[in-house]
Structure 1
Amino acid sequence: MEAHSKKKKSFTLPTAYTVLIIIMALIALATQFIPGVKAAKFSDLVMAPINGLDEAIDIAIFVLLIGGFLGVTTKTGALDAGIGSVVEKLKGRELVLIPVLMFIFSLGGTSFGMAEETIAFAALVTTTMIVAGFDPLVSVATLILGSGCGVLGSTVNPFLVSTSISALKGVGVEVNQAVVIGTGVALWLSSLLISIYFVMKYAKEVQRDKAATLLTEKEMNDAIEAFVGNKNTEEVIEFTTRRKIILTLFGLTFVIMVLAIIPWEKFGITIFAKTSFLTGSPLGGWWFNELGMWFVIMSVVIGLVYQMKEQEIVSSFMNGAADMVGVALVIGVAKGISVIMTTTQLDQYVLNSASSVLNGMSPIVFTIVAFLIYMVLSFFIPSTSGLAGLSMPIFGPLAVSLGFSSEVMISIFSAGSGIVNLVTPTSGVIMGALAIAKVDYTSWVKFVSKILVAIFISSAIILSIAMMLI
């Protein structure tokens, strides 16, 4: 795929790091003028990125280890051969990749809150999309909008639904989860269909005319150099039996990753209860530490299957990890925003102020305003489980006292946080995926803005109807 001739725009935002630090500085400045909030000291601002990295260290290390795993797998040529084979078989039908992948990622989002895990797929999906004739923006959209629409319409996502229900039970509010699931399905499928339509429309335009891309020439060149290099994208590397075995192991690695983080026992499934022999935790109880070690183990297995020497395995792993250092750092810096919010207690101030606005409203107005409030809250508190624990004990009883549904309140939270986490620079997932795909944040905002407007309108209609009927 050749780079287009679009000239570089005269103005672009600074790098992701600078954008995030500017946001931190503005938050710290705001605390100087808000009564009842602890004013941020200069040292709080200085230390926020480091403290953020400290809090996000498990995710950062996980990203580095994924990079190592991809480095070893890429060295074998199995990914190039597999991608080339798939694209060759789909010749003329490459667009089918988009809805299929987006639906699969959305299943992960609605069921177990798939978010950070999508970073593991970013390099592979970006390579595939470039070879298929699209641009890196299509790969980022497939990942972020796919999984994000699932999270927006969470049905059994334990980090959002279960945490919210638990928080409400803690203040004496009972919840019918069937209602939450029903509303969640409507939010999930409506937002997913909207996203698939826009992504496929854009992908068609780029595939037909490379000048239609929203990316700058630099972004395209950086992505092509990183994911395709000087290789002829029309060439199909020989897909040998050994490479097929490696690609099978590669796929198995991600299957196990997904099985390992779904909380099976919460759904009454106990078949994985005795699978703790590898990490000390059974499948369903793994998190970033166990997942990281799993990728290390499979790196070694794949290297040995390809008959790589020990030094070659280590060298490939380290080179792959080195490629992910920038991604790991941007995730940590993004987390620093949450740290400074918590340190100054600004998060609690915003939460309490927001709840006081909702009194005395009609169902539709209450729903729309609550939706908007959750969008604001989610910008400052991008963690869904953290926001659920903080907000539900306040908003849930408030909704019930006004005669509204606590179940729909959970869905309002799900939609509000979900839509913001598709674009907010405070999300390590957004910034991490963009960094891997070599896409600037400004390009992502330009692409996703109209999609977010459409999703907001459809979600607001669904939530308003649910609030009036339930």
Structure 2
Amino acid sequence: MGAPIKKKKTFTLPTAYTVLLAITAIIALATQFIPGVQAAKLSDVIMAPINGLNESIDIAIFVLLIGGFLGVTTKTGALDAGIGNVVNKLKGKELVLIPVLMFIFSLGGTSFGMAEETIAFTALVTTTMIIAGFDPLVSVATLILGAGSGVLGSTVNPFLVSTAIGALNGVGIEVNQVIVIGTGVALWLSSLLISIYFVMSYAKKVHKDKSATLLSEGEFNEAKQAFIGDKSSEEVIEFTTKRKIVLGLFSFTFLVMVAGIIPWEKFGVNIFTKTDFLTGSSLGNWWFSDLGIWFVIMSVVIGLVYKMKEKDIVGAFMEGAADMVGVALVIGVSKGISVIMSTTGLDSQVLNSASSVLSGMSPIVFTIVAFLIYMVLSFFIPSTSGLAGLSMPIFGPLAVSLGFSPEIIISIFSAGSGVVNLVTPTSGVIMGTLAIAKVDYATWVKFVTKVIIAIFISSSIILSVAMMFL
């Protein structure tokens, strides 16, 4: 099993809350010196976390309800039994889990913008990876880089592609979606292959020698205690018929979740139009409130199927939700940064300044600089739909006036926001996933830096070639 994890003397960042609040304060301070921007007041800074939580309350509640659902399911022992059974069958082939899961999550990313939804899988994937002999960093990388590669190379993602096309249409620019899809596929598959390479290389080292982990001893022990407790990684809980049924219901819950958020009608699929009997919205039109109540319903169903008492179901649900309170708060605090950007007008000011920089450049230079600008913009505006609505009416006409393809502008936007959203602390997905998996933000940055550099280089080449020839 290799040597034990060594105690590492490394610089430790403050908690996620402190980092996010510091960024909020720095941005507020910057507004005092930028012309044309409304200076943020002290009250704006103080209220930013609460305002952020108000704007992201649907996601925060969704996370709490997922926690409750996982609490009930975990209480049955079905997850431990199912994971143990799978890992036991994969003895010697545990690495297969990584590319398979990453590809599945990337499909969700490129097709319907799977991002916040990955938070729901964090506990399950982390438990699986630890029992399989890896560490929590492998699970975080599998989730974030898997789904993130798909979003980076969005093909039909309605929250990015459709919003961007709609914004361009609004200023009289027609878009050839075939070009958008083709460029998106190239970005998606290249970034996915790079990500799989780095994750599997690291996972092999950790599986062979636990001291090769980038996690501190404290991080690893905290995660191990949280996800497998005092159980030995070799222990396999009996996979009874009742637990198999629970695991089937567990899988069904997530299948319905995915079906609920894929915009079927936009793809010409109308078989779910009469499925609004449960929440009032048909499958394909669900959002966080619909998803949240679905997890509550299935928590009760699973508890009853396992013949748990009412008091035990409620108790397990509340315990699971309590474990997610910190995650919900992190999501709210991170959203507070975007709130301060929009209320002061700093987001629009940065956008207008960025567009003026791009005038008069050659195709390759334009592409690289636009890519970098979108990376900066995405740090402050992590919402792809929000950034598309703000930036496309400015960058699209600029590209057309310079004789460049507006379709590639969409792909540059997709790649720029996609790269940054793999690491930015302003993303509730990043901070929420790390919080659940018990991985420090500094540890994630240390791991993902090389991956991001490689993806940036490959994406720059793809986008430059596309801009030159399309």
**How far 1:3 moved relative to its partner?**
9.2
Q: Which residue of 1 aligns with 2:143?
A: 143
Distance 1:9 1:179 in 2: 49
Distance 1:9 1:456 in 2: 31
Q: Kindly tell me the number of residue pairs found equivalent between the two proteins.
A: 470
Q: Which residue of 1 aligns with 2:121?
A: 121
Distance 2:5 2:397 in 1: 57
Distance 1:405 1:4 in 2: 54
- Alignment partner of 1:48: what SS? helix
Q: Which residue of 1 aligns with 2:306?
A: 306
Q: Which residue of 1 aligns with 2:87?
A: 87
Native 8 Å contact 1:4 1:217 kept in 2 = no
How has the CA–CA distance of structure 1 residues 159 and 224 changed in structure 2, closer, same or farther, with 3 Å as cutoff? same
Distance 2:75 2:3 in 1: 25
- 1:429 aligns to 2:457 (yes or no): no
Q: Which residue of 1 aligns with 2:161?
A: 161
Q: Which residue of 1 aligns with 2:258?
A: 258
Distance 2:272 2:158 in 1: 18
- 1:368 aligns to 2:357 (yes or no): no
- Alignment partner of 1:103: what SS? helix
Q: Which letter does structure 1 place at the counterpart of 2:211?
A: A
- 1:220 aligns to 2:197 (yes or no): no
Native 8 Å contact 1:52 1:332 kept in 2 = yes
Distance 2:260 2:4 in 1: 42
Cα deviation code 1:393-412 (max 9, x no counterpart): 00001001100000000000
**How far 1:6 moved relative to its partner?**
1.6
Native 8 Å contact 2:2 2:209 kept in 1 = no
Q: Which letter does structure 2 place at the counterpart of 1:54?
A: N
Distance 2:412 2:239 in 1: 48
Q: Which letter does structure 2 place at the counterpart of 1:368?
A: I
Q: Which residue of 2 aligns with 1:27?
A: 27
Q: Which residue of 2 aligns with 1:332?
A: 332
- 1:441 aligns to 2:444 (yes or no): no
**How far 1:9 moved relative to its partner?**
2.4
Distance 1:221 1:328 in 2: 23
- Alignment partner of 1:332: what SS? helix
Cα deviation code 1:222-243 (max 9, x no counterpart): 1001001101110111101110
Distance 2:450 2:338 in 1: 27
Q: Which letter does structure 2 place at the counterpart of 1:7?
A: K
Gap runs ≥5 in structure 1: none
**How far 1:149 moved relative to its partner?**
0.2
**How far 1:268 moved relative to its partner?**
1.2
Q: Which residue of 1 aligns with 2:49?
A: 49
Distance 1:235 1:63 in 2: 29
Q: Which residue of 2 aligns with 1:419?
A: 419
**How far 1:2 moved relative to its partner?**
9.7
Distance 1:4 1:429 in 2: 31
Q: Which residue of 2 aligns with 1:398?
A: 398
Q: Which letter does structure 2 place at the counterpart of 1:85?
A: N
**How far 1:10 moved relative to its partner?**
4.3
Distance 2:175 2:263 in 1: 20
Native 8 Å contact 2:94 2:132 kept in 1 = yes
- 1:195 aligns to 2:195 (yes or no): yes
- Alignment partner of 1:128: what SS? helix
Distance 1:337 1:8 in 2: 32
Native 8 Å contact 1:119 1:432 kept in 2 = yes
Distance 2:386 2:273 in 1: 27
Distance 1:3 1:209 in 2: 6
Distance 2:232 2:12 in 1: 31
Distance 2:259 2:132 in 1: 29
Distance 1:445 1:384 in 2: 22
Q: Which residue of 2 aligns with 1:102?
A: 102
Cα deviation code 1:364-408 (max 9, x no counterpart): 000000000000000000000000000000000100110000000
Cα deviation code 1:32-70 (max 9, x no counterpart): 000000000000000000000010000000000000000
Greater shift, 1-10 or 385-394, is seen at: 1-10
Distance 1:217 1:40 in 2: 41
Q: Which residue of 1 aligns with 2:285?
A: 285
**How far 1:8 moved relative to its partner?**
3.8
Q: Which residue of 2 aligns with 1:387?
A: 387
How has the CA–CA distance of structure 1 residues 3 and 321 changed in structure 2, closer, same or farther, with 3 Å as cutoff? farther
Distance 1:352 1:252 in 2: 46
Q: Which residue of 1 aligns with 2:343?
A: 343
**How far 1:4 moved relative to its partner?**
3.2
Native 8 Å contact 1:66 1:120 kept in 2 = yes
- Alignment partner of 2:277: what SS? coil
Cα deviation code 1:327-369 (max 9, x no counterpart): 0000000000000001110000000000000000000000000
- 1:67 aligns to 2:70 (yes or no): no
Q: Which letter does structure 2 place at the counterpart of 1:160?
A: L
**How far 1:7 moved relative to its partner?**
1.5
Distance 1:463 1:396 in 2: 16
Native 8 Å contact 1:106 1:151 kept in 2 = yes
Q: Which letter does structure 2 place at the counterpart of 1:125?
A: V
Distance 2:6 2:348 in 1: 46
Native 8 Å contact 1:8 1:218 kept in 2 = no
- Alignment partner of 2:148: what SS? helix
TM-score for the superposition, normalised by structure 2: 0.99
Distance 2:285 2:395 in 1: 30
Percent of paired sites with the same residue:
81
Native 8 Å contact 2:2 2:208 kept in 1 = no
Q: Which residue of 2 aligns with 1:173?
A: 173
Native 8 Å contact 2:3 2:209 kept in 1 = no
- Alignment partner of 1:125: what SS? helix
Gap runs ≥5 in structure 2: none
- Alignment partner of 1:164: what SS? helix
